[in-house]
Structure 1
Amino acid sequence: MTTDRIVRTFTDYFRERGHELLTGATLLPPPTDPVLFTTSGMHPLTPYLEGRPHPQGRRLAGVQRCLRTTDLDEVGDRTHLTVFEMLGSWSLGDYGHTRSLRLGHELLRDGFGIPPERMYATVFGGDDQVGPDDEASDTWHELGVRVERTGDDNWWSHAPVGLCGPDSEIFVWTGDPATPPQGSPTTDPRWVEVWNHVSMRYLRLEDGSLRPLRRPNVDTGMGLERLATVLQGHDSVYDSDLFEPWTRLVPPLWDLDEPSLRLVCDHLRSGIAVLGDGVRPSHTGRGYVLRRLTRRVLTTLWRDDPSRTLSDLPTELLGHTLDRFRQPGGTERVRDVLLDEERRFEKLLERGRRVLGGSRFDGPLSEEDYRYLHDTHGLPRDLVTTLRTP
């Protein structure tokens, strides 16, 4: 099942059940939001989940592009991405958690062809404030899906204070299809989470207490790249059709080991998406995230061969990414920004090598040295570490 077909199956399913489709917002939150980038499908809907009426009604579904910087150091393994797409459905005070779980089960079983015996659900087991989520447990038992109770892993919160509630995560067995599934989601990593259904029932206050919402909501999120990996039978998100042009065109261009290849593909793809939403490299904020992504790519490329350049990057990859994230604008504009950032980084490296070559920095660096190098010469700590690594 191709990624495009997965999206159509998802959106058609919810539209046929009375959900209005959202077009998918930019990576950039509104100016009043302190967060740099949209991090989840529910992020743009926060005011409506808190009670404001949504202009499109009380049943919504859509595809939202997201960016998370918290996983940057994990990129290179088989699951983590910086920019990704989230399939989501929402009930704003309409149907409840049980209905949401039944919808999810039906779509996975009938729409995506996943047998119930290859599903496992986790539910909130309760704590000293809230009892166990028996509603979710009973629903899964009725549907013939095994259930595992957990603690904090099945309690969702957007922040230390604010919206929160128990969630139920649906896992799919990715082990050998010829053998029965084994273990449970907390004991066997071959159970892969594909969909989280959150029952937003509470508002956590500053003192830690919980206040029930006057209008409970349901928020679900399913990572498109991870779902595609599972449905297409791959072990890594980089093997899915979303990354096919990257894994086809980049290896002949630059000889990289597997983790480095994944990092380069992810960071370039993410940088193109950020550029497509109008961000430009800078020393702070969103622009610094874009700059860091680009410089991590260049550091990886130049580690083995300083002659490598982003000017060799095929235009097909720029266009494929912009089209994937539904972003207007030509590829030349994106290429120009990337090449300009490459030139800036080359100059910074030259300056850094001269500064660090001085006798002051012969031995181990102190925190004062790192502050001086950053404040006086514009050399961030990670770059200094890179330049001093043999």
Structure 2
Amino acid sequence: MTVHDLRQKFLDFFKEKGHSIIPSASLLPENDPSVLFTTAGMQPLVPYLKGQAHPMGKRLADVQKCLRTDDIDEVGDNRHLTFFEMLGNWSLGDYFKEEAIGWSFEFLTDRRWLDIDPKKLYVTIFEGDNDAPRDEESMGIWQAQFETQGIAANIGEAGKDEPASGTEGPRIFLYGKEKNWWPGAKTKGLCGPDTEIFYDTGRPHDRSYGEVCHPNCDCGRYVEIWNNVFMQFNRAEEGGSLEILPNKNVDTGMGLERTAAVISGKTTVFDLEVFQTIFRGLEQLSGKVYGSDEDIDRSMRIIADHVRASVFAIADGAVPSNVQAGYVVRRLIRRAIREGHTLGINGLFLQTVANVVIGEFGVFYSALETKRQEVLDALKEEETKFRETLEKGMRELEKMMKGGDMTGEKAFILYSTYGFPVELTEELVKEHGQHVDRLRFQEEFKRHQELSRTASAGMFKGGLADDSAETVRLHTATHLLHQALRNVLGDHVGQRGSNITKDRLRFDFSHPQKMTPEEIQKVEDQVNDVIRRDLPVRFEIMDMDEAKKVGALGFFEDRYARMGGKIKVYFVGDEERGYFSKEICGGPHVRRTAELGLFKIQKEEASSAGVRRIKAVVMDSGA
């Protein structure tokens, strides 16, 4: 089964179960400064899990693009990825445990869908503690499901009882909050027990991880493929007691690549066809063969993963730069280039790999095809710049070696000043009988990281889950700013990203040059005039064609158009006095513009090529 087969089967299954299929949100979180990228399937749906009505109803299913960089240095082994897709089905106060567990089991085992032997499946549930009771309900539902297949699902104790090998024996295992509770043991907000589904790969147990294997054993025999989270509680404050929710939600997640690999009998995710296609392209470029050498495999995996992640990120607006999301993309690209150098690839090659990625994924993610040239141009520009950087670094490295041994401090200067990878420094100085003091390099690197963290402390506050009055006011102010910029500068202005904390808004928009002081003042005056007029703010639920007919702005509309889903269009103003703005948005917003108080632009600056950035605040009108 390919990832494309699994992705489509999942969506078809839940569509039959009455779910609306919603598109993936952008990798750049909309108005969520708590993270640089969308890292989980639930992240874009937090407002709806908290009670806001979703325009597509109470039953939803999607495939969410995700990007995590916590383990970026581990990519190259047989399992780590930066970019991945997460399948999810959601109940917003509709169905609960009975249906969620039943449908999970049906999708996995029914011949019409994945046709997995149920004897290969094992589940975990929350064991209970002084804070919350054991999840007896999920236990009973699972036992009933397995019983339909002639399997007696007994309860086992992790690390003590051997999991069942046939139709009898332990199949359900109990764990505490560290394994079967979301989001965290004492975390504030919506929370609840979860039940995870594991697949038995049949690999021999590694006893270095314990005498007896179990679903959460780190030896890797059992692989988690699906997680059902039951949000039935709310914790009002960090570490506080739990309150039972009147409306309970279901939040599920299935990693697309991991599941496709496991049920296809692949040893690693890199054995999947989507990666093998990229490897074949790299073989032609390098003359090397994937699978012939561990170092070659590592380099090709890094290139495949990093270019795939970069293609998706750039298509969503994360242009390579020296700050925030753009910096992560730059790092991914440069690491891929370095591995290309290791493979002996001469000349520019990222565009070739990117075309393979777009060819594989463009059918489902139409924005990749739409923005193909934009992505290719960004990669070519970055690769050209970095090769020039490498040349400068090479000259500096030669000077340093003439001045004595290559120290860890010198290697860090090459890395921090010239962007010269330490691995490449090590490779080159080795040819001259020298070596880099990696320990000293790491000390310098960590010191630099600490300084960076200190400098950016407090940058990521609030977030999508922050629906405070301050963030809601700033969200509405962003709409007014967007329209005012178009009125003053022209219709070429379009949103390229936004970021809101409780203290300020940041808005990126397309414009070729620096704004004049007069233009900035005109924009600010227009926004404040709309605030002064106290116009109503309301929304209507429409489809994309209806939104276009009424003239609503929507610069990320491809994510909705692909699925043909319902959307919210927010109107500022009314028919009698005229509408100031109409824009596609998930909300939330104030009810009248006078609630914003006073709007003030603090800064206008460059963000990237052809993109400007405004930082602004709202304050009480008397301030």
Category of TM-score, reference length = shorter chain: 0.7 to 0.9
- Residue matched to 1:44: 44
Report if the CA contact (8 A) 2:201-2:221 is conserved.
Answer: yes
In angstroms, what is the RMSD of aligned CA positions? 2.8
> Corresponding residue for 1:179?
none
Q: Structure 1 residues 327-336 or 111-120, which shifts more?
A: 327-336
1:245 matched residue in structure 2? 277
| 2:274–2:360 contact (8 Å) kept in structure 1 | no
What is the letter of the counterpart of residue 338 of structure 1?
Answer: L
**Which residue in 1 is equivalent to 2:254?**
222
Taking a change above 3 Å as real, the CA distance of residues 361 and 153 of structure 1, as seen in their structure-2 partners, is farther
Alignment-derived partner of residue 215 in structure 2: 185
**Shift, 1:86, TM fit:** 1.1
Q: Structure 1: state its 5+ residue gaps.
A: 177-181
For 2:54, what is the secondary structure of its paired residue?
Answer: coil
Between the aligned residues of both structures, percent identity stands at 39
Contact 1:185 1:192 survives alignment (8 Å): yes
C-alpha separation in 1, matches of 2:423 and 2:236: 42
Q: Alpha carbons of 1:257 and 1:274: their partners in 2 closer, same or farther (altered >3 Å)?
A: same
Alignment check: 8 A CA contact 1:120 1:184 kept: no
Match of 2:182, as an amino acid?
Answer: W
Paired with 1:338 and 1:280, the residues of 2 have a C-alpha distance of 9
Return closer, same or farther for 1:210/1:348 CA change in 2, 3 Å cut-off: farther
Which of 360, 370, 385 is the matching residue for 1:320?
A: 360
CA distance in 1, matches of 2:421, 2:241: 44
CA distance 1:174–1:342, shift in 2 (3 Å): same
Query: How many residue pairs get matched?
Result: 381
Matched, 1:165 2:192: yes
The residue number in structure 1 matching 2:320 is 281
Stretch deviating more after TM superposition (197-206 or 148-157): 197-206
Shift of 1:198: 0.5
2:291 equivalent to 1:291 = no
Secondary structure of residue in 2 paired with 1:257: helix
CA gap of 1:45–1:373, structure 2 versus 1, over 3 A, is same
Q: Which of the numbers 325, 328, 331 marks the counterpart of 2:372?
A: 331
Q: Name the structure 2 match of 1:131.
A: 133
User: Is the 2:190–2:235 contact (alpha carbons within 8 Å) kept by the matching residues of 1?
Assistant: yes
SS at match of 2:139: helix
When the two structures are superposed, what TM-score results if normalisation uses the length of structure 1? 0.88
* Greater displacement, 61-70 / 201-210: 201-210
1:210 & 1:342 partners in 2: Cα distance? Answer: 53
* Deviation of the 1:352 alpha carbon: 3.1
The whole-number CA distance in structure 1 between the counterparts of 2:23 and 2:237 is: 34
Match in the other structure for 1:18: 18
Relative to structure 1, the CA distance from residue 51 to residue 353 in structure 2 (aligned partners, 3 Å threshold; closer, same or farther) is same
Counterpart amino acid of residue 91 in structure 2: S
Task: Give the whole-Å Cα distance in 2 for the aligned partners of 1:49 and 1:360.
Answer: 61
Q: Corresponding residue for 1:150? A: 175
1:2 aligns to what?
A: 2
**Which stretch of structure 1 is more off in the superposition, 323-332 or 26-35?**
323-332
Q: CA deviation at 1:222?
A: 0.5
**After superposition, what is the alpha-carbon deviation per residue over 1:95-134, rounded to whole angstroms, capped at 9, x for unaligned?**
1123211110111111210122110001122234223222
**Which residue number in structure 2 is paired with residue 272 of structure 1?**
311
Tell me whether 1:301 sits opposite 2:340 in the alignment: yes
Q: Relative to 1, partners in 2 of residues 1:11 and 1:206: Cα closer, same or farther, differing over 3 Å?
A: same
In structure 2, do the counterparts of structure 1 residues 362 and 31 end up closer, same or farther at CA, with 3 Å as the change threshold?
A: farther
1:271 CA displacement: 0.9
More displaced stretch, 284-293 vs 250-259: 250-259
2:301 corresponds to 1:262:
yes
1:172-226 Cα distance to aligned partner (Å, 9 max, x none): 12227xxxxx943134522111100011123344431243234221100111111
Letter in structure 2 aligned against 1:190 = R
Instruction: Tell which structure's C-alpha radius of gyration is larger.
Output: 2
Q: Distance in 2 between matches of 1:52 and 1:330?
A: 32
**2:366 alignment partner, SS class:** coil
Q: Distance in 2 between matches of 1:385 and 1:32?
A: 35
> 8 Å contact 1:123–1:166 — kept in the other structure?
yes
Change (3 A) 1:44 1:313: same
1:349 pairs, out of 384, 390, 397, with 390
Check the 8 A contact 1:21/1:61 in 2, yes or no: yes
SS state of the match for residue 65, structure 1?
Answer: strand
Question: Which of 239-248 and 357-366 deviates more?
Answer: 357-366
Aligned CA distance change for structure 1 residues 297 and 324 (closer, same or farther; 3 Å):
farther
54-63 or 130-139: which moved more? 130-139
